[in-house]
Amino acid sequence: MLLPVWVSIKLAAITTLCLLLLGTPLAYWLAKPSRGNIVGRIKILLMGVIAMPLVLPPTVIGFYLLLLLSPNFGIGKWLAQYNISAFTFTFEGLVIGSIIYSLPFYVQPVYAQFSRIPASVMEVASLLEPNRLRRFLRVALPQARIGIILGSLISFAHTIGEFGVVLMIGGSISGETKVVSIAIYEQVEALNYEAAHMMSVILIIMGMVMVALIASFNKSSHNP
């Protein structure tokens, strides 16, 4: 009964770590002032694409990811040519889907925090530290730490409760792709309400803890 909970926690943790590594530089680049109309338009278009999971049903995103990663289409077909297994119905596929689906929940608070850094601070930093990477690590990241923590908490909480996307990509393989939300659904279908209740209580407790942490850091971000 606890195995789906563990799969969900592992999925949320790996997804959040990947978002930290990939989403933070992306949010920083999006928040930087653009030097030209073309770059500015590209950023606006990219932010619109990133925000799509906020407006599209999870099953729609899951369906197209299923096609994209399956061995007969898209990336999956290309991988099959090199004898690499497709990512559909695997834990790795769940991670890919979760990263895409949770990306706006991480990028938006981090982007907002980067945008609040005064231009004068970055101008002084560019004079003192010509190396862009070190300037990013030593100046920008500490300034955006609240947004990064807040985005990580939101992404973790959001991934824990995923259903539509993970069901479409991963199905329900015990110990591999069966997350707690799918396990609850299956127990309800089997009229095993006691097991569904126990797993739901675990999610409720985790959700309350995450909401309390998110509220705390959200308050900190508005009162530096």
What one-character-per-residue DSSP string does the chain give? --HHHHHHHHHHHHHHHHHHHHHHHHHHHHHSPPSSHHHHHHHHHHHHHHTGGGTS-HHHHHHHHHHHHSTTSHHHHHHHTTTPPPSTTSHHHHHHHHHHHHHHHHHHHHHHHHHTS-HHHHHHHHHH---HHHHIIIIIHHHTHHHHHHHHHHHHHHHHT--HHHHHHH---TTTT--HHHHHHHHHHTT-HHHHHHHHHHHHHHHHHHHHHHHHHHHHHH--
Across 110-135, average pLDDT: 84
Mean pLDDT value across the chain: 88
Across 37-45, average pLDDT: 86
Read off the amino acid at residue 79: L
| pLDDT at res. 2 | 83
- Answer yes or no: is pLDDT of 114 > 90: yes
What's the pLDDT tens digit per position in 167-217? 999 888 888 899 999 999 999 999 999 999 999 999 999 889 988 888 887
Across 47-61, average pLDDT: 91
Superfamily of domain 3-222 in the CATH hierarchy: MetI-like (1.10.3720.10)
| pLDDT at res. 96 | 92
| pLDDT at res. 68 | 87
Neighbours of 99 (CB within 10 A): 19
The percentage of the chain sitting over the pLDDT mark of 90, rounded to a whole number, equals 49
Across 1-24, average pLDDT: 93
The percentage of the chain sitting over the pLDDT mark of 70, rounded to a whole number, equals 97
- Answer yes or no: is pLDDT of 12 > 90: yes
Neighbours of 138 (CB within 10 A): 13
| pLDDT at res. 223 | 61
More confident call, 127 vs 45: 45
- Answer yes or no: is pLDDT of 86 > 80: no
Angle at 46 (CA atoms; ends 41, 48), nearest 5 degrees? 100
Reported confidence tier of residue 220, pLDDT bands at 50, 70, 90: low
Under 8 Å between Cβ of 126 and 202: no
Tokens standing for 59?
A: 């099953």
Tokens standing for 102?
A: 């949770």
Q: Domain map of the chain by residue range?
A: 3-222
| pLDDT at res. 178 | 92
